[in-house]
Amino acid sequence: MKIIEKYILEDVKMPIIFGVSLFTFIFLIEIIVSLMENIIVKGISLLDVLRILSFYLPPILSQTIPMGVFLGVMITFSKFTSTSEATAMSSIGMSLKDILKPIVKLSMLITIFIFFLQESIIPRSFSKLEELTIKIAYENPVFQLKEGILIDEVDQYSLYINKIDRKTNEASNVLIFQKDDKSTFPTILLGEKAYWKNVNMVLENSKFYTFNPDGTLKLEGKFKQKKIPLSSYFQNINIDVKDIEAMGIGMLIKNLNGKTKQERTPYLVEINRKIAIPLSTIVLSILGVLLSIGHHRSGKGASFGISLAVIFIYIVFLNVGMVMANKGIVSPYVGVWLPNILLLGGTGLLYKIKAGGAR
């Protein structure tokens, strides 16, 4: 029996890697498209883009590993069925429970690995992602600044840039409003040309205008060079990651202290999600075997179709449950765990049918 268990584990390895890779790539597509804009339009280096993708990978893997395991198991046992290997296993006295045993062991190890990802790797990845994004912004301010948009988030400055040369990282026709609490009207700075140095925008050959409280011109002049600090603007860079998603379960539990019931809800939802998704790996792996093994001769196409349908339904139920839980319509426990309970119930029912038919 141990030889057959090793054979099953050896055979399922590559399909699981394929399944995880497939779903991970699907999840990465949106991020890749967004980063391509940064490469082409904003001049971010390919190396930095690859590093950003590597930091996005662990949180994505925590979601795609259960899906990949499910697909990999289905592909493997569909092959066993089509080549009559499953029939041979039954003929030598292996029960359905015996066939499931190596898959359950493997799925439990994978579940432990997902918990390790969530508690150790993912928080570090989010931290590194934030550091890298800020580093890119400091080295290349054009990463954050856009043409034709008024930016009102730079300390006492409001900034408008008409044109940015992405190759030289120089701007032309720059309009800046310098606010002052003591003055009714801001000082206006008009720059023909600007470039960036040490997180400062340097204006060259520009003019300035100040105004009296009644709006009349008070003073105007020219200067060859003026520095506009942008450091505070880049310290507030937003990346597409929620702080709550970057925390491990232990940190989320600590953050529950001192919060109201309403404030605790998103933390409870995230805690339950971080437990429910890894545990779904075990149920999905068993379901994958049950859906694939039998007397039918389905191929990879059927495995793909069934696995995608099951995963789609599971994700829809989970997301709807989380939204309802965050809005207070249902308990966080009900909203997050109901998909797993339904999945477990369906798997248990199918096991009874399959085990009964095998007798």
Provide the whole-model pTM: 0.72
Name, of 179-188, 194-203, 299-308, the range with top average pLDDT: 179-188
- DSSP secondary structure code for residue 53 in this structure: H
- Residue reference for tokens 């880049």: 234
pLDDT at residue 243 above 50? Answer: yes
User: How far, rounded to the nearest angstrom, does the alpha carbon of residue 258 sit from its chain's CA centroid?
Assistant: 28
The pair of structure tokens assigned to 256 is 């529950």
Q: What is the predicted pLDDT for the residue at 245?
A: 79
pLDDT at residue 235 above 50? Answer: no
The pair of structure tokens assigned to 94 is 């292996």
CA angle, residues 191, 192, 198, in degrees to nearest 5: 65
Question: Which residue in 345, 330, 335 sits closest to 273, CA to CA?
Answer: 335
pLDDT of 54-90, one tens digit each?
A: 888 999 999 999 999 999 999 999 888 888 887 788 7
CA angle, residues 14, 279, 264, in degrees to nearest 5: 135
The pair of structure tokens assigned to 221 is 């002049």
Residue 44: phi and psi, rounded to 5, are -75, 140
The pair of structure tokens assigned to 54 is 């590597």
What residues are paired with 178 via a beta bridge?
Answer: 157, 187
Taking residues 123-150, report their average pLDDT: 70
Length of the chain: 359
Q: Which of 111-120, 254-263, 316-325 has the lowest mean pLDDT?
A: 254-263
Q: Residue 52 in contact with residue 130, Cβ under 8 Å? A: no
Residue 196: phi and psi, rounded to 5, are -115, 140
Residue 147, CB half-sphere, CA atoms under 13 Å: how many? Answer: 12
Give the type of residue at 272: N
Taking residues 282-311, report their average pLDDT: 78
Separation between Cα atoms, residue 27 and residue 109, nearest integer Å: 23
Name, of 75-79, 211-215, 242-246, 303-307, the range with top average pLDDT: 75-79
Separation between Cα atoms, residue 125 and residue 146, nearest integer Å: 28
Residue 139, CB half-sphere, CA atoms under 13 Å: how many? Answer: 11
Residue 170: phi and psi, rounded to 5, are -110, 150
pLDDT of 180-199, one tens digit each?
A: 777 778 888 888 888 766 66
Separation between Cα atoms, residue 174 and residue 146, nearest integer Å: 12
pLDDT at residue 144 above 90? Answer: no
Separation between Cα atoms, residue 127 and residue 135, nearest integer Å: 12
Mean pLDDT (the chain) is: 82
Question: Which residue in 36, 67, 14 sits closest to 313, CA to CA?
Answer: 67
Question: Which residue in 151, 168, 166 sits closest to 236, CA to CA?
Answer: 151
Separation between Cα atoms, residue 67 and residue 64, nearest integer Å: 5
Residues whose CB falls within 8 Å of the CB of residue 192, separated by 6 or more in sequence, listed in order: 172, 173, 174, 204, 205, 206
Sign (positive or negative) of CA dihedral 222, 226, 232, 233:
positive
Q: Which residue has the higher pLDDT, 140 or 314?
A: 314
pLDDT at residue 240 above 50? Answer: no
Taking residues 266-291, report their average pLDDT: 94
What residues are paired with 157 via a beta bridge?
Answer: 154, 178
Residues whose CB falls within 8 Å of the CB of residue 4, separated by 6 or more in sequence, listed in order: 89, 94
pLDDT at residue 313 above 90? Answer: yes
Separation between Cα atoms, residue 355 and residue 214, nearest integer Å: 88
Separation between Cα atoms, residue 296 and residue 350, nearest integer Å: 15
Taking residues 89-93, report their average pLDDT: 79
What percent of the chain has pLDDT above 70? 81
